Amino acid sequence: MTWWCAASNEPWSWVWRAYPGVWVFVALLAAWGAAALKGNFAREAARPGSDAPARRAGRVAAYGCGVLFCWMALDWPLGRLGGGYLLAAHTAQYVLLTFFAAPLLLLGLRRGPGDGAGLPGVHPLLSLVVYNGLLAATHVPALVDAMMRTQWGSAIVDLAWLVGGIALWWPALHPDPERRLAPPLRMGYLFASTLAPTIPAALLMFGDYPYYGVYELAPRALGLSAQQDQQLAGLIMKVIGDPLIWFSTAFIFFRWQARLERDEREEES
């Protein structure tokens, strides 16, 4: 029994494998989130005139989806494929944890106005440094080759991506909406976050030879050669990760515009 997905050197098989460490992590994440949501809802209920109760279902759904994406990324089959067979699956894990799970968890933990006491605010530059630093470290071939061979190493890489994702999205989706970056800054920040990952993505897509021994020397899975796998990984990093950021940026822009127009109409009336 292995508790977390890591390189095993066994031939790939679609036979289901249990990873209890992943289940424990996901259960803890869900339990912690449930407690946090309960606390948030209780504080809001105590505040007269709050419109927050109407948004409770949305927040529960967002947090639940965030937990679900974590589970999908870490457990069989994607976790196993990414742990020791395909770099493309490993990159899909990165995308799910960083661009899906992390923002949804933060959206779910949204608090009511003025209820952000005790939550740290993080300077966007620091967020970018943390996110890009983790991104760089978890894509260095020698480090990946060393880490992915052990369950601990593999778990650390997976969790680093979740932490990196939370660091990335924190200034844009701070649980206290009043402490989020202003919309224009938020858009600029999100655009800036897409720049650095272009480098590893391009290296993966256009590299002459596989960078990662752990995937190059793994038993082949899903009919992909090591080179095709690496190119697909680069493609996933940019083709899924970037459009999601652009979509978020566009969403912020249109909401911001709508609010400006509403404010103008209110002033005129």
Closer CB to other proteins, 35 or 142, in the complex: 142
Contacts for 175 with CB less than 8 Å, ≥ 6 apart:
106, 109, 110, 111, 116, 119
State the minimum distance, in angstroms, from the CB of residue 135 to other proteins. Answer: 7
Closer residue to other proteins in complex, CB, 62/147: 147
Task: Transcribe 127-154 into DSSP letters.
Answer: HHHHHHHHHHHTT-HHHHHHHTTSHHHH
* Residue (60 or 196) nearer to other proteins, CB: 196
Task: Report, in Å, the least distance between residue 217 CB and other proteins.
Answer: 5
Question: Which residue number, 119 or 140, has a Cβ lying nearer to other proteins?
Answer: 140
Nearer to other proteins, 34 or 140 (CB): 140
Instruction: Determine the Cα–Cα distance for residues 254 and 252; give it in Å rounded to an integer.
Output: 6
Least Å distance, CB 195 to other proteins, is: 7
The sign of the CA dihedral 18, 19, 20, 26 is negative
**Distance from C-alpha of 39 to C-alpha of 58, rounded to nearest angstrom:** 16
**Nearer to other proteins among residue 196 and residue 240 (C-beta):** 196
Q: How far is the CB of 121 from other proteins (least distance, A)?
A: 21
Shortest approach of other proteins to residue 111 CB, angstroms? 31
Q: Which residue has the tokens 């071939």?
A: 141
Cα(22)–Cα(181) distance, integer angstroms? 33
Interacting residue ranges for other proteins, rule: CB under 8 A = 9-11, 128-129, 132-133, 135-137, 139-143, 145, 195-196, 198-200, 203, 208-214, 216-220, 225-227
The least distance separating other proteins from the CB of residue 11, rounded to whole angstroms, comes to 4
Q: Rank residues 116 and 171 by Cβ distance to other proteins and give the closer one.
A: 171
- Residue with the two structure tokens 């993966």: 204
| Least separation in angstroms between CB 145 and other proteins | 5
N residues, the chain = 269
Q: How far is CA 20 from CA 2, 5, 51, in A?
A: 8, 10, 40
40 phi-psi bin (left φ>0, alpha ψ -120 to 50, beta other): alpha
Distance (Å, whole) CA 77 – CA 63? 22
CA-CA distance, 168 to 99, in Å (whole number)? 9
